[in-house]
Structure 1
Amino acid sequence: MRFSTANTENPNKFNFVKKARYFFIFSIIITVLGILTLGIFGLNYGVDFRAGSSVDIAVKKDLTGQKTEIEKFLVDNDFGKPGLTVGASRVTLRFDEVLNPTKEKALKQGFAAKFDKDASAEVNTVDVEIAKELQWNALKAILVASIGIVIYVSIRFEWRFAVAAIVALLHDAFIVISLFSIFRLEVNLPFIVAVLTIIGYSINDTIVIFDRVRENMRFAKIKSKLDIARVVNESIWQTLTRSVNTVMTVVVAALCLLIFGSEAIKLFSLAILFGLISGAYSSIFIASPLWLVLKNKQKPKTAVKSSTVI
């Protein structure tokens, strides 16, 4: 795989096409590490995707400094060591097993008596069959979204753009999934919503660059592969400011949700943040150079047949 551009390129401007091989290698390494991590550790599924009970307790007191005491209370009363999140106004427990009515009652009464008499608890239970169905439906949602994007981009542009776009957005989704696996963050239904949002954001940013590439190809005098590479590089530069400004404004909003939002949306905000950064990276450094690789494999008689290649 070799990238090069015409000698008329401005030497002071970063050449995205010429350096693309390094970004490809970096993404391949991250992908391999992600596969290894998922193979070894898997994902930390929440109650939404595995059988168990989720207990959300609304409290009037701030119990953030009493996490150790809550853990001891749970162990002493034979509730084991569930996943525990303590916020200023909410305590969340995640049990791997389904709590029966007797244990539910004992937990509510014991917690209220020891920590906050005004506490109110809500228990949500997911059985094994529902958990499996939710996992499969989540995979179907991502698959259907990806197929729809491929069909649309193939019709609106061409199949090479579609292949490059789908590789970029799957790259973004996989990066987020791998990071959640590495840091053992909980995967629940809001996480799936975040992944679908990331896919939509990533394809939107990628399409903007692809549209500029297509417009520039229409008016460029294409005589060699070097000319196509020059068009791709210039197209990325022409849309770079827009891409950076867009991602930065959304990153600020995601950071505010992460810092000031409730415990219920923190993991959602974190997934969005990971995806925004990965989406900007793949749109700029992966998608268009990958399209160029596919375009250069086109037969010469059709690749440079006229000035209107696409």
Structure 2
Amino acid sequence: MNFKNFNFVGASKYFYTFSIILTIVGAIFLATVGLNYGVDFRSGSNVDITTTKELSKEQLESILNDLGIGEDASITPGEERVNIRFNQILTESQDLALRDAVHKLDKDASFEINTVDPEMAKELGRNAFYAVLLSCIGIIIYVSIRFEWRFAIAAILALMHDAFVVVSVFSIFRLEVNTTFIIAVLTIIGYSINDTIVIFDRIRENLRFAKIKRHSDLVEVVNKSLSQTFARSLYTALSVVIAAFFMLILGGESIKMFSLAIVIGLVIGAYSSIFIASPLWLLFKGKDIKKTKAPKPKTEV
């Protein structure tokens, strides 16, 4: 696949526009409706029921209303698995009553109940924030030591872009955010920085043999570096996205949000490494390059 003459730097403006629009929309949704936190980040009980018979949402709502716990419950039915999320923590008597009521409809149904108290929910939220923050700081230090500060700033801005876009998509479509989502974000950051480092390494290598006199020379180096690494980035991204996609389609309910976040993040990370990170470095580096001015016409005497 030959992209030798493709103007990656010129095409980046379209991706900048797309990312800016998505960022603005995501920021609006985050400010107004926030995230749809799972039970991991807020107190309550999460009940997963594996059934041998299909139970309708109406049947489950009737059971919960009869038990007096249906007001704050959210039911997600499935063919062989039903999820019920409560904003309150179920007591032992409510737990037993729910099991007995469901067993009357399906005697072979099995239960998995996870409970998170308010203090644990706050601690999980703090730890998730610290995990993302520390990973970003570590990446800044690593890239600064291996390359230079311009590469580090461009890389971290691209990573923040990747993470924020994934968070924005989950906010816009009201998808559940739980601990597996945080794992997915950290995985996306790791994958994206790996792809970005490969491109930056090629840019640095090409700079050693380039004679940079004008801004256009710098643009040429970036385009050349991206053309040399584009096929590698594309094929690597496709192979991982395909695997994550089948995890999403064929995987269990517990990893669906993880798989979806991975698919979205890998696609965003693949294009940000090429069309966001590298042009950002060019923007910072280009300020040091004086653009050549047209020579002034000679005045005849």
- TM-score, normalization: structure 1? 0.89
Partner residue, 1:254: 244
Aligned length: 289
Of the three residues 31, 48, 51, the one matched with 1:56 is 48
What are structure 2's unaligned runs of at least 5 residues? 291-301
CA distance 1:76–1:217, change in 2 (3 Å) = same
Contact 1:20-1:285 at 8 Å conserved across structures: yes
CA deviations over 1:149-182 (Å, ceiling 9, x no partner): 0000000011100101001111011111011111
Contact 1:48-1:126 at 8 Å conserved across structures: yes
What are structure 1's unaligned runs of at least 5 residues? 1-9, 301-310
Taking the aligned partners of 1:68 and 1:238, their CA distance within structure 2 comes to 57
The more displaced of 171-180 and 80-89 is: 80-89
Q: CA deviation at 1:299?
A: 6.3
Contact 2:158-2:276 at 8 Å conserved across structures: yes
CA deviations over 1:250-297 (Å, ceiling 9, x no partner): 111011101111111111100000101100110111000000000012
Q: Which amino acid aligns with 1:146?
A: C
Contact 2:159-2:193 at 8 Å conserved across structures: yes
CA distance 1:147–1:12, change in 2 (3 Å) = closer
Partner residue, 1:202: 192
Percent pairwise identity: 59
Partner residue, 1:131: 121
Across the aligned residues of Structure 1 and Structure 2, the Cα RMSD in angstroms comes to 1.9
1:50-129 superposed matches below 5 A: 50-59=42-51, 61-63=52-54, 66-80=56-70, 82-114=73-105, 116-129=106-119
Partner residue, 1:308: none
TM superposition outliers: structure 1 runs of 4+ over 6 Å: none
CA deviations over 1:198-228 (Å, ceiling 9, x no partner): 0001111111111110111111122211111
Aligned partner of residue 18 in structure 1, secondary structure: helix
Aligned partner of residue 22 in structure 1, secondary structure: helix
Partner residue, 2:296: none
Confirm or deny that 1:43 pairs with 2:50. no
Partner residue, 2:293: none
Q: Which amino acid aligns with 2:117?
A: D
Q: CA deviation at 1:62?
A: 4.1
CA distance 1:107–1:299, change in 2 (3 Å) = same
1:202-221 superposed matches below 5 A: 202-221=192-211
Partner residue, 1:31: 23
Contact 1:87-1:263 at 8 Å conserved across structures: no
Taking the aligned partners of 2:62 and 2:189, their CA distance within structure 1 comes to 42
Taking the aligned partners of 2:180 and 2:14, their CA distance within structure 1 comes to 34
